[in-house]
Structure formats: C-alpha cells, structure tokens
Structure 1
Amino acid sequence: MIGRKLHRLALVAERAVDRLRGPRNRRRVIDPYAGYATPEHLVVRGRVLTGLRRNQPEADQSAWINFRQMVSLFLTSEVAGVEVKARGVTTLSDEEGYFTLLLPRGEESGWVEVTVDITGHEATATCPVLIAHPDAAYGVISDIDDTMLRTGAYSLPRNLWTSLTGNALTREVFEDAPPFMAALSDGERNPVYYVSSSPWNLHHFLRRIFAAAGLVEGPKFLRDFGLGETQFITGTHGDHKGASIDVILAANPALSFILVGDTGQHDAIVYRDAVARHSGRIRAVVLREPGQGPGPEDLAAMQEISLRVPLLHGRTFDGFARVLRAAPAAD
C-alpha cells in the first residue's frame, strides 16, 4: 500500500515538472545501445530523447566538475510515442523513450551495425548488435561494479563518492580485468555480455571507460530508473540481474555460460539461483572478493554453487582464465 502511494506521488510530481518545462522541444535524437541476437532476430535497442549529453572530461579536472558532468547525464528528456525504424521494421518508443526493434537475422556473425531512423525527423543513429559466432565455445556474463570497475558498491557512501566524483578517464578498471576478459573471449570468438544495476543513462559513459581500459566490449543490460504507470523506479538488484541472465541464456540456447561477478552485492546468491534454474547451462562461476570479502549469506551460496559447478573466487582473477579454458563444458 505504501509503495503504491509513493509510486503515485512520484508519478504526479514527474508530470508536474514536465508541465513546468513547457512544450516538448521538437528536436529528436536517438541514444543507441548495444544490442544482441537471438536465433531468429537482431535485437536493436535505444532511447528517443530531445538531446544527448556527451561530456568531454579531462583526467585532471576537479571532483566538482566531475560531479556536475555526472549529474547532467541524468537530466534527460525522453520522448514517448515516436516511431523509429530500421530495415523496414518499425516500432514506437515507450513512455520512458525506450525502443526495441526485432529485425530478421541473417547469416552474419560478430558485431554488425544497424542504422535506425526516426520517422519524420532528420535523426539517425548507428546501433551495434553482437551476433554470437557459430563456433563459440561458450558465452560470458559479467557484472561491472567491483567486478570489472572498482566502485565500492558494497558501501553506499563509498559507492556514491566514487560514482559521482570520477569521470570516464579517471574511473579505475581492475588491472586483471582486461586480460582476463580478453582470454575468455578468445579474440571475440566467445560472446561477452554485461549485467549491471547502473542506469541506462550511463551506457555511453561505461562504453568510454571500457574502451579506454581495453575491456572486451559487449551488450549491456542496465536498469531503468524511470517512472511509469506500471513502474516505480525499477526492480531489485537481484531481480534485474537474474532476469537479464535468463534473457541472455534464452538468446543463446546452444551455449553454456561462465558467470563472473563479486561478493559485494550478493552476486553469489543471484548466481546460485541461476545455476539452479539453468541446470547444465552454467559452465562455471567466478567471484571477486572486494572489501572485507563475502559475508555469511554469500559464503552459504558459494558453498551451494561449488556443489554443482566449478567455483573460482579471490581478490583477483589472476590465473583463473587458464583454469576456466581447461574446464570441461557444462553437462
């Protein structure tokens, strides 16, 4: 009951702010997201906005400037009900501006680029889509915060400070993360997907961090922090991550997967449940142990995981790739 009342109040407040802004700017732009492929479709994703904020950070700029630039990434003005099209397929943006186009899949593999247009506007964008190679040995699903990127998500004050006062040039990727993911992807033969509780507003920001660090690129499954008639902010961290894992496995029915995460936000519990739901599909689980390491709940979940699939865990991923590539495929 309280949740529904808060939802309604927040929705009323958001609409009041929209009215104060006045008529929507007629300008329309597409914020492109990296998509993925199913056996039948290319899943092309993005968001329709009235403008894009693309900061140009410098490595030595102040924390205050970083803070202002980070906050600006969340000051988006989304546009609902806009028709977008690609390769003869059309759809409408939803109430938060998001759209998904399902295009027929051909014989391509690897990264392909899809041009998306807005009907009636001179707005176009290139949306990359990852199609798993037919000779892939397995896939990889990885968390981002405190797995690839040092964040301190296990501590709310540390998480907020790190997230809001850094920029794409100063955020720290763990030194062992790029070579570890490169080894698992095997020259991008094996597809890599990232699942995170970060909002979609940070999609471009995260891509810049990955590119600067040399991290293997992959489609990202982030969270919608918007408000709608049927949604109050978003689901829980675990619900989002578990549902995203289900989507990725369904999109790649012929592949087993390695799950990579950390013990800072209870990935062990999420991955334990995924192992149980997808018997025979999870090849191994890898967990980084940031901060003070796993708590009692995580340790219990890790014990359950180890009874069903190989589990590797520690402060770093050093040496893990060699072990994983030698491991047998999931039963």
Structure 2
Amino acid sequence: MENLKKTLIKAARKAHQVFDELKDRPSSDPIKIESYTGYASQDRMFLKGRVLEDDNIMVTKSYEELKRIFYSFKRFETDEIPGVKVLLYLDDHEFQVYTDEEGFYTLDIATPDSINVKPGEWIRGYAELPDIVGDDGPVRGTIKLRVPDSEASYGVISDIDDTILQTHVTSLFQLKMMFVTLFKEASQRLAMEGMVELYQEMSTTPVGGKNPFFYVSNSPWNIYPMLVEFLKLNELPSGPVLLRDFGFGMLHQNEGYRGHKIETISHIFRAYPDMQFILFGDSGSKDADVYLNLALEFPDQIKTIYIRHLKDTKNARRVANLINQKGEVDAIIIDSTREIAADAREKGYVSEKFVLTEVEADE
C-alpha cells in the first residue's frame, strides 16, 4: 500500500510539472497579490497570501450565464507565480518570504517585541513584489492581521458550508453543492437561516467589546474572494477566513500532518492559549470528529461544540452516535438555529433577552 501511495504521488507530481510547463508561456495578464486576512497575538503572527496572474474576476456583479460560467472556470484555473520574493511591511517592520510552487506565501512567526499589538485593533500594512514591476512600480497589495479584543468573552470558530452558507453538501452525489459553488456569485448565495442574527449577537460582549470570529473551511482558496464578499454582504462578523490548498502542494505535507481543519484550529488555540472558544459545524462532514479530537488535546479551550443536523444520512447517524459518547465535552447536535440560540441564552453566550426574529424554514 505504501509503495502504491508513493507511485501515485510521483505520478501526480509529474502531471503537475507537465501542466505547469504547458501554462508557462508568455502572458499579457498583470500580476497581483491576493492577501488573506491573518491573525496575531502578543505571542504569534500568522498571515497567508498568494501571487497570481490577475484575471480580473468579478465577484459581485450579475452576469449572463455564459460569462458566469467563464469566470467560475477562471477562478479555479489559476496561474500562480512560484518562487517569487515577497516583502511584508507591518508596523515599520520588513519581513521577507517566498512563494511556494502553488504561489502561496506564509508568515508564521513569534511576534517581535517591537511590533505594536493593540487588542481589538488590526495590524495593517502592505505586501510588495520587489522583483516584479507593474505600470506603477513594484506590485503591491494591502495586508491586515486581526488582534482580538482584550474584553472578549470567548472566540468563535465556525465552519462555512451548511453552517453559515447554504451549500447542500448532503445533496445526491453533491451535484447541487458543486453547482452553487461553481456558478453562483456571492450576491446569489444564501445564508443558513438565523445564523447571521445569531453571529451578530455573539460578536458583541456585555461590556461592549468584540468577540473574535475565525472561519475555517475545507473549501479551496480559489473562492476566498467570493466568501469574503458573502460575509460582507450578509453583515456577518469579520474575521480570518482560513481555507485550504486544492493543488498538488497538498502532496508535500509532512508525515504527521493531521488534516487542514485540525491543524488550523490547533494553531489558533496555540496563538490564544488563554481564550476559550465556541465551535460550530454540521453533520454533513467530519466537523464533529475534528472538534472532539481537539477537545481531547485542548480540554480547557473549548466551551461548547454545536453540530447542525442536516439530513438523516449514514454519516449523520454516525455523528449523532459520536456526540452521544462524547464524555465530559459539551457537544450538542441541533436541528435549528433556534435551538442554538436557546442553549446560548441558558449558558450566557448571548443576552438573556436575545430572541431570533428570523423564522426558519423547517419550523
């Protein structure tokens, strides 16, 4: 089995190399830096971005169907720029990183003592490609890192698909999920009923502070602009959106790599060791498995796990059984946002006067 795995990885790498060679032809498209919102604490700074050819993909305007299909294809058919130097300027500091074979760059360091980390504010700056010159000089892009409020009561870590964004993960052969993901714009996507109102309530503390939100999904980075636009259009709390690479770079993960969600959330927990979190997911994936495993590793940092029951599938029944055997972990499987709101009121996560005004379709 191990030899077969190595053979498949070798073949995939070769195919990726051939594909890149086919793409490596002169292009008139300009280069852009696609910056992803990072996060920071007194101890840690994390920031990610990507250097790509700019295909000028729009995410909010309505198009006729053929144009929408074309732009959807271009969103996934990216022309990344590997091996390029990226300079990151934050608070009068300069950091140097390089893009990997998929065009991604990552800054993951201990926070320098001289960086001004102000709770509740953003660390802002810009990224620059010193070796790539555009019409107006070196290519640049803005960057920002979220610093949680010192008055935060807790943090929220939320899945996206079918947790806050209707995606239809449990549809037959996931055909409906693929259709809405590929061909629907941010303005055409629907939020899970009641979740916008609930998250808005949870984002504010009783003393007027802000609880930080982190959105962790197995969706590809290719749809990052659409997801950020979706959060903005629906007035959901802003926060880092942490996705994963669907390219062949996934084949180069370290031997001990445990999967995108568990690695990403573990990193957040370690960045904020004194903060407790409420986790949201659904029964259409392995959110419950990931969250319960994290509860074993970080028992003091998880307040409650909410898993939305989507459909009576084999996996949903497995998840329900898993949660019933959860032991001392506060994990709950729910059928509606109203159930979450009621439980959150009882536990003091929201105001005792908070009542959802949005009526859910299944009630």
Q: Establish whether TM, by shorter chain, passes 0.5.
A: yes
**Alpha-carbon offset, residue 264 of structure 1:** 0.9
Where does 1:221-236 land on structure 2 (aligned, <5 Å)?
A: 221-228=242-249, 230-231=251-252
Structure 2 counterpart of 1:253: 273
Equivalent residues of 1:81, 1:95 under 8 A apart: yes
Structure 2 counterpart of 1:107: 117
Please list the CA deviations of residues 223-281 of structure 1 after superposition, one character each: whole Å capped at 9, or x if unmatched. 1111149538xx99x82211111111011111011010111113122211111121121
Q: Which of 170, 174, 179 is the matching residue for 2:197?
A: 179
Task: Give the gaps of 5 or more residues in structure 1.
Answer: none
Where does 1:47-62 land on structure 2 (aligned, <5 Å)?
A: 47-59=50-62, 61-62=64-65
Task: Give the gaps of 5 or more residues in structure 2.
Answer: 133-137, 350-363
Q: State whether structure 2 residue 214 is matched by structure 1 residue 193.
A: yes
**Alpha-carbon offset, residue 60 of structure 1:** 7.2
**Alpha-carbon offset, residue 56 of structure 1:** 4.6
SS state at 2:273 partner: coil
Q: State whether structure 2 residue 146 is matched by structure 1 residue 130.
A: yes
Equivalent residues of 1:37, 1:130 under 8 A apart: yes
Q: Aligned pair count?
A: 324
Give the direction of change, closer, same or farther, for the CA distance of 1:107–1:89 in structure 2 (3 Å limit): same
**Alpha-carbon offset, residue 328 of structure 1:** 7.0
Please list the CA deviations of residues 125-171 of structure 1 after superposition, one character each: whole Å capped at 9, or x if unmatched. 11121111112111111100000101111232222122123111111
Q: Which of 31, 36, 43 is the matching residue for 1:33?
A: 36
Q: Which of 164, 168, 173 is the matching residue for 2:182?
A: 164
RMSD, aligned CA: 2.6
Q: Which of 279, 288, 293 is the matching residue for 2:308?
A: 288
Structure 1 counterpart of 2:329: 309
Structure showing greater Rg: 2
**Identity between Structure 1 and Structure 2 (%):** 27
- 1:53 & 1:8 partners in 2: Cα distance? 34
Aligned residue identity for 1:93: T
Where does 1:262-301 land on structure 2 (aligned, <5 Å)?
A: 262-292=282-312, 295-301=316-322
Structure 1 counterpart of 2:231: 210
- 1:141 & 1:301 partners in 2: Cα distance? 20
Q: State whether structure 2 residue 158 is matched by structure 1 residue 142.
A: yes
SS state at 2:325 partner: helix
Q: State whether structure 2 residue 23 is matched by structure 1 residue 21.
A: yes
**Alpha-carbon offset, residue 28 of structure 1:** 3.2
- 1:6 & 1:34 partners in 2: Cα distance? 34
Equivalent residues of 1:180, 1:318 under 8 A apart: no
**Alpha-carbon offset, residue 4 of structure 1:** 2.5
Equivalent residues of 2:154, 2:275 under 8 A apart: yes
SS state at 1:285 partner: strand
TM-score of the two chains, using structure 2 as the length reference: 0.81
**Alpha-carbon offset, residue 30 of structure 1:** 0.6
